[in-house]
Amino acid sequence: MIICSDIRKSYSHGGRHKQVLNGINLVIKQGDRVGLLGRNGAGKSTLIKLIGGVEMPTSGKIIRNMSVSWPLGFAGGFQGSLTGLDNARFIARIYRREYPDIRRFVEDFTELGKQLQMPVKTYSSGMRARLAFALSLAIEFDCYLIDEIILVGDQNFQRKCHAEMFEKRQERSMIVASHSSEFIRGFCNRAIIIHEGKAIMMDDVNEAVDQYETL
């Protein structure tokens, strides 16, 4: 279970002050597949970063009673100057996993071949997505945080993700930020709309998507 109680987050830079999240209360249970809806700049990524522990809330508390992945997104998680395999080795080390197992899974899942021996900064966003997914699947988290990235992959990647995430790991939780109504209708069982710093959790995904589309 993940419990967010009264989370507020503001950024200030050079005297300017921006309140992004203003009192978010959420409970995410085992097996929840939560779609995160909101317009650009509404605070979807910020909320995902806070839940993932990448940034700290200005006030409020987040309790994680299950293992939570790092936010899988376009940025972060990798050292660009290192090769894909060196990154895999680093991650295996800090998550106490056996590198050969991780490597086998990564090679198999990403199908990147020789490219894995190139620095990650030379990867396209689709390739990054493959690597991030492969690593987080190999580590096995209870809850996956996914920031947009699932849709950048090609057909083959989406098919693989589908098999690994939605068929083999049905009992896991997932929080996905996405602008794709179709995706959220298809794969989520709950949805959160973030608007003006507040979050509304809805059990009816279709209703949530309809409401989001009127924003």
Positions touching other proteins (CB under 8 A) are 11, 49, 52-56, 68, 70-71, 75-82, 86, 90-91, 93-96
Q: Closest separation between CB of residue 158 and other proteins, Å?
A: 23
CB of 50 vs other proteins, minimal distance in Å: 11
Task: Please say whether the dihedral angle defined by the alpha carbons of residues 102, 106, 107 and 113, taken in this order, is positive or negative.
Answer: negative
Closest approach, Cβ 73 to other proteins, in A, equals: 9
Q: Are residues 6 and 59 in contact, defined by beta-carbon separation less than 8 angstroms?
A: yes
Under 8 Å between Cβ of 123 and 84 = yes
Compute the least distance from the CB of residue 137 to other proteins, in Å: 16
Residue 22 or 181: the one with the smaller Cβ distance to other proteins is: 22
Q: Which residue, 68 or 127, is less far from other proteins as judged by CB?
A: 68
Pairing of strands 190-195, 33-37: parallel
In the complex with other proteins, the residue whose CB is nearer, 137 or 193, is: 137
Of 20 and 174, which CB lies nearer to other proteins in the complex structure? Answer: 20
Other CB atoms within 10 A of residue 18 CB: 10
CB 184 within 8 Å of CB 37: yes
CB neighbour class for 38 (10 Å; exposed up to 12, middle 13-18, buried from 19): buried
Write down the least CB distance from residue 104 to other proteins, Å: 20
Nearer to other proteins, 27 or 56 (CB): 56
Distance, CA of 16 to CA of 182 (rounded, Å):
37
